Amino acid sequence: MSAHIIAARRSPVMTAGGAFARLDLHHLARPVIAACLADAGVEPGEVEELICANALAAGGNPARVLALAAGLSERVAGLTIDRQCAGGLDAIRLGAALITAGAADLVLAGGVESASRRPIRMRTDPGGGPPVAYDAPPFTPWPERDPDMHEAAATLALRLGISRVEQDAFAVASHARAMAAVLPEIVPVAGHARDGFTRQLTPALAARARPVHGTITAANAAVSADAAAFVLLASARIASRAPRALRILASATLGAATEDPGLAPIPAIARIWSPSDALAQAEIMEAYAVQAIACIRGAGIDPAIVNPGGGALARGHPIGASGAILATRLFHDLQSGRGLAAIAAAGGIGSALLIGA
């Protein structure tokens, strides 16, 4: 049994506190899901499962809420996963696994995130003291091996000798490609049809950007954002009747050194692809310019085929949706050959997906 992507759509990406700040998760996801179904000519009642990645909603089962809001059958229980930044790609991997196992013919998979609506997290004190607010949970049992993401990126840049000038140039190029790109995968949401953060970033503007940690700045690190992205996965039987279908050829999610989360995609990519194999396009997550540069070089990918429509530096980073956005971009861009999507996640996790006609 093989699994195929027969439709893929996403919302615009808007910075946290911006145009989507008042939208709940299902308001972001419902138009995207509807567009996927319409593109493939599939009725809502035909979908058998919805798998949704989300990192910030802090509980519940958003996937069930999305399924109900999108008008899917009440039989669709919905499955929410949290693998931080890798979640969107891993939702697609799980959906494909259901199909290849013969457990389903049609699965919606992707992610949705609202950094704007993230709840305030409080850790209770068993000694009876007041609760203490915290922003992120631990990603390892060892605090000394669980670095802040900005710090980890700055350390990586220092160790690999990737200068701020090089990182800024990468970010400038990402914005330029995004400004020039036609993005047919975007579904208008709340009157917006373009990514809100994309701008004419110049080297001079990048050089004046606010420092965050070491060589990491507000220009060469992706901003927190709100967005949704989903793909419709189908068995070969259903895909043969679809207007467009790309086959999932291979995928992998692997753990790596927790201290070096930015390099985690490299072994995952190596599990499913070799530099000796032809590759038409790669969508590599740009949480940080240095992380993207390091992964492109470490995996042996031709930079000329990476993120032709710009990347997360020019869009923003809606954590749970970011991996699904990469797959959605590939689905719309790839006309022949094979395409690779890869992303890193906190805790030293890397996920990669290979698709082709």
Please give the positions annotated as active site. Answer: 85, 317
Burial 86-120 (b: 16+ CB within 10 A, else e): bbbbbbbbbbbbbbbeeebbbbbbbbbbbbbbbee
Q: Can you tell me the distance from the alpha carbon of 285 to that of 155, in angstroms, rounded to the nearest whole number?
A: 18
Q: Which residues pair with 284 in a beta bridge?
A: 342
CB 266 within 8 A of CB 284: no
List C-alpha distances in Å: 272 to 142, 147, 185, 197, 222.
30, 28, 26, 33, 27
Burial 27-36 (b: 16+ CB within 10 A, else e): bbbbbbbebb
Residue 4's SS3 state is strand
Residue 356's SS3 state is strand
Q: Are strands 121-123 and 132-134 parallel, antiparallel or unpaired?
A: antiparallel
